[in-house]
Amino acid sequence: MQQSEHPEVPQAGSDALDLPFPVVREVGLFACFGWLAAAVRDMRASPGGSLFYGSCFAFMGLVLTTVFRHAYHLTSALVCGFLLLGPFLSLGLYDLSRQREAGKSPVLAHSLTAGSHNAGAIGVFAVILIIIFLVWARASLVVFALFYTTQMPSVDHFLEQVLTLQNAEFLLAYAVVGFIFASLVFGASVVAIPLMLDRRQDAVTSILASLISLGRNPAPLLLWAAIIACFAVVGFATFMLGLIVLMPLVGHATWHAYRALIEPLQHPVAATA
């Protein structure tokens, strides 16, 4: 494989403040399908590593639904919140794509410590996602409390209401609140963690670059968000088994989205290990 035109850039000791602000590019409406095609190639190059992370997603989803099976109103909040944390949980997948891009054979062990050279910035971003997750969990419970003032319905009754749209006001309110939180996370994380992984960029700059990317490419990125949402629905509808393949696909594609959206540095510094 040829060496990538996008070398790994930051030294572990380099100062992120010396880096220029990322230059955002515009992409075509259907660019996300190219990202997915590249993600498939990444998965073929590293099937073991990709499926390892996919299995972790599926396992965590199963744990959530099992532990909170008698409190489905918490389960729905946790499952949706689990998706909000997806960009951070996909860090290892970004590194597998990064390794392959650099002309190396992807190594799972290397991806397990990905981001350690910029742990501070990535940690700050993780804290932001966790705070959003906790606020979302509280907002989810508030929506349930507003529409079920006497007692929570049984699981079967609740599922029946969802499938038959009996409680359309609740579903609409829940969807609107969830959309607000999902949009906030998606807008802030489109390229944030790949940028921090690749350049040792600080968290604030990375979030701003993500928001600018969304602002300059609203239609392509909204289409990409819709595809991610569909993948998540399929994953949960298959009792988490679909997540084993679909979440790595999204993770690898996100790396290629970053490469398409952010202009490479003109004078990159030496690569990290």
- Encoding tokens for residue 97? 């794509």
Confidence of residue 1 (pLDDT cuts 50, 70, 90): very low
- pLDDT tens, residue by residue, 70-100: 665 666 666 666 666 778 889 999 999 999 9
Instruction: Specify the pLDDT at position 213.
Output: 97
How far apart are alpha carbons 108 and 44 in whole angstroms?
14
How far apart are alpha carbons 17 and 3 in whole angstroms?
28
pLDDT score of 12 more than 50: no
Instruction: Specify the pLDDT at position 139.
Output: 84
> Highest-confidence range of 142-146, 237-241, 254-258, by mean pLDDT?
254-258
Spatial CA neighbour of 70 closest among 190, 189, 155 = 155
Angle between helices 119-147 and 192-199 (to 10 degrees): 170
Instruction: Specify the pLDDT at position 227.
Output: 93
How far apart are alpha carbons 59 and 48 in whole angstroms?
16
Give every CB contact of residue 75 below 8 A, 6+ residues apart in sequence: 64, 65, 68, 69
Instruction: Specify the pLDDT at position 169.
Output: 83
pTM (global) more than 0.85: no
Spatial CA neighbour of 121 closest among 255, 16, 234, 237 = 16
